[in-house]
Amino acid sequence: MISPDAARNVVGNVISFGLFLSPVPTFWRIIKNKDVEEFKSDPYLATLLNCMLWVFYGILCVIFGSAMYASPLTIMVPIDPALDPRA
């Protein structure tokens, strides 16, 4: 049986992936139309900075004993710049 803490961590990771992948439909629209239209890159850059800060926090948590914080964030830091509509 899975402990409540482990279940909470897994649910948190799933929600984190959903949150970070939520702009994908916008990026597909930009790719399909080959135009950024009126989209601003500021929210995506802010998301990248947010991910980097949480990775730093997650690394500290891994050092002190909990690896669940860093897992979705370490995957999203390289993915987020690739999804930047200005690229």
3, burial (CB in 10 Å: exposed 0-12, middle 13-18, buried 19+): exposed
pLDDT at 1 over 80: no
What is the tens place of the pLDDT at every residue in 49-66?
A: 887 787 777 777 666 666
40, burial (CB in 10 Å: exposed 0-12, middle 13-18, buried 19+): exposed
List of domains in the chain: 4-82 (1.20.1280)
| Whether the Cβ atoms of residue 20 and residue 79 lie closer than 8 Å to each other | yes
Query: Secondary structure of 7-20 in the HEC alphabet?
Result: HHHHHHHHHHHHHH
Q: What is the reported pTM?
A: 0.50
What is the tens place of the pLDDT at every residue in 11-57?
A: 888 888 887 788 888 888 988 998 888 888 888 788 778 877 877 77
Q: Which residue reads 């900075």 in tokens? A: 49
